[in-house]
Chain A
Amino acid sequence: MAHGRKDGEDLAGWLEASYPQSFRTACLLLGNRADAEEAVQEAFLRAWRFRASLGAGSNVAPWLYRVVVNTCWSKLRQEVPHREHRADTSGLEDVVSTVISPEDDAWRAELSRGALRALCDLPMHLRVVVVLRYYADLSEREIAVAVGRRPGTVKSRLHEAGRRLAANPELRASMVDDNDAAKEVFL
């Protein structure tokens, strides 16, 4: 992954390489395939237009994720005013169910659906940190850059999100770990 490049060709190559992950992140945030496609499209155009503001040596990934997250947030706030800020669970389930083949492992498929439903039950500010942490695999500091908050706030939100996910009955049976090791992950 190229970091710190302002050159157009380098950025174009990096955007092309990061499109799938950005699109899936937007899908997880918005819960709607069409909205996610529009959001990523707009985010990439914004990133291209303001690529000069990315200084040399900067980490491109948090910067781009910040653009994507802000675009998704704007779309939820402005362009989807009649929806709640929670994602459309059925939409995501449809997206997933259409691509999971019958031959896939039933337990894994059920786990993914449960995780999506629990994710969509989270408010937007908690859903963002969960997706960026456990899907995009960003560190807390990178997430802080992406959402424009302090790392302590990100840590607190991850803890709150973990507490709420653990209270979800669908995820409780398969994912909950009562030992102290799991506690340290979120604290």
Chain B
Amino acid sequence: MTMIDEEALRAALQGAADSIAVPDRAVDQILVVAQRLDARPRAARRFRRRPDDGVDVTGAAKQFENGIVDGTWQQRRPPRRVLVAVAAIAVICISVAAATTLSGSKTSHLAVSPTPTAPTRPPLRSATPSKLGSATNGTVEAGPLGSSTAPALPTGAVGGSSKVEETGSVDLTVGRGQLELVLTRLTNLATAEGGFVASTQTQFGDGASTPLSSGSITLQVPEASFGPVVAQAQTFGKVTALTTRGIDVTGQYVDLQARIAALEASRDQYLTIMSKATSISDILAVQAQLDTLQTQIEQLQGQLQVLDSETTYGTLVVSVLERGGHPAPVHHGRSGIASAWHGAVSGFAAAFDGLIRIAGPALFVLLCLAALAVLGRLAWRGVRRRTL
């Protein structure tokens, strides 16, 4: 291997270095500054040469010395570490302030909001039909039901109380084999509250065409007990749907009563006229009018009785479904190739789902590794800066 002559290189470097002129008194100036540095050790920073300065001492060193004498010298430039630290602290403070501001605004927003935003199961009204709204859907709205601030319904001129027709439906899911038990409990509930069962329908599953058992029962319960019955019925199974509705028929009821009263007054007058009639023709004419009035009165009284019945009893339809898992699979009689094809498609979809599912954690791990790599590189660069 061809190598260089060590002695020749040493001589050459020595000769070249010896020919470099050393500045005069430079070391004296350094030592003067160094000895004064003991008084203010942290004030020592790098000194920069100015073009018009001489070789003996740099302009910064002069400034430094003058500053030490009059006590006004300050650092010319803060170190980069200080700047980075200050910037980091500022970023942290800004982030904390922003987070505090955001959380504070969210809290105040919640504080001034009088109503919850998330829909919850509606509180059913107690036993006060006059507070019930005109139409409510229990699955979505919670408003008028049971609310003490609901507007009062118009009071009827006759009878002095409002008339509200109430209907509702509840869908329940019960355990396997509990269909009949639940239907029986619903019947007992209606009877205990002074109501009755209007109709029932039950369908038992055979595992093939109708895999699940289900039933439906229509309850007629007194208006005052409608709310408690609905609340009690929800405890018999898992509620999947709930609907209640209240229709105010007070106006219609009052109108019927007024028309009946007017017709009855007319009938009384005709009866008075009839008692004073002297000819047969007059009697027959008045009788015809009386028959017409009586028919109208009876029709209106029938309508009034229907309204009375509807507002006296609330109608609650409860649908009960047994929880039986998934319906029985339907066999299409596929061939082996078709079954294999469907299996392949299902496997591909499952694998694709799994791939998407693990993409999130994998991305998180990659981000963590990238952050570690960046930190490691910064640390390595920091170490390398200190050594050659």
Summed over the interface, the residue pairs from A and B with CB atoms below 8 Å come to a total of 163
Q: Is B13 an interface residue (CB 8 A)?
A: yes
State which of B2, B5, B10, B31 has its C-beta within 8 Å of the C-beta of A15.
B31
Q: Is A165 an interface residue (CB 8 A)?
A: yes
Distance in Å from the Cβ of B61 to the closest Cβ of chain A?
Answer: 7
Q: Is A2 an interface residue (CB 8 A)?
A: no
In B3-41, which residues have CB < 8 Å from any A CB?
A: 3-6, 8-23, 26-28, 30-31, 33-35, 37, 41
Q: On chain B, which size bracket covers the interface?
A: 35 or more
Given known A-B contacts A42-B47, A178-B2, A48 and B9 have beta carbons under 8 A apart:
no
In A18-49, which residues have CB < 8 Å from any B CB?
A: 19-20, 23-25, 27-28, 33-34, 37-38, 40-42, 44-45, 48-49
Given known A-B contacts A20-B22, A177-B3, A183-B1, A131 and B13 have beta carbons under 8 A apart:
yes
Give the complex CA separation of A182 and B15 in angstroms: 21
State which of B9, B27, B28 has its C-beta within 8 Å of the C-beta of A115.
B9
Which residue among A49, A69, A112 has the maximum number of chain B CB atoms within 10 Å of its CB?
A: A112
Contacting residues, chain A, for B11 (C-beta < 8 A): 111
User: Interface code A55-75, partner B: CB below 8 Å = 1, 0 otherwise?
Assistant: 000000000000001100110
B interface, over-half SS: helix
**Are B20 and A95 in contact (CB-based, < 8 A)?**
yes
Given known A-B contacts A48-B37, A49-B37, A175-B12, A185 and B3 have beta carbons under 8 A apart:
yes
Distance in Å from the Cβ of B121 to the closest Cβ of chain A?
Answer: 69
Q: Smallest CB-CB separation from A157: which chain B residue? A: B388
**Are B3 and A176 in contact (CB-based, < 8 A)?**
yes
Give the complex CA separation of A119 and B386 in angstroms: 23
Q: Is B243 an interface residue (CB 8 A)?
A: no
**Are A148 and B1 in contact (CB-based, < 8 A)?**
no
Q: Is B385 an interface residue (CB 8 A)?
A: yes
Contacting residues, chain B, for A138 (C-beta < 8 A): none
Give the complex CA separation of A19 and B30 in angstroms: 10
Given known A-B contacts A147-B388, A149-B387, A149-B388, A24 and B9 have beta carbons under 8 A apart:
no
**Are B17 and A176 in contact (CB-based, < 8 A)?**
no
State which of B5, B34, B47, B385 has its C-beta within 8 Å of the C-beta of A182.
B5
Give the complex CA separation of A68 and B10 in angstroms: 20
Distance in Å from the Cβ of B57 to the closest Cβ of chain A?
Answer: 9
Contacting residues, chain B, for A116 (C-beta < 8 A): 16
**Are B20 and A99 in contact (CB-based, < 8 A)?**
yes
**Are B26 and A37 in contact (CB-based, < 8 A)?**
yes
Contacting residues, chain B, for A34 (C-beta < 8 A): 49
**Are A114 and B37 in contact (CB-based, < 8 A)?**
no
Contacting residues, chain A, for B6 (C-beta < 8 A): 134, 182, 185-186
Q: Is B137 an interface residue (CB 8 A)?
A: no
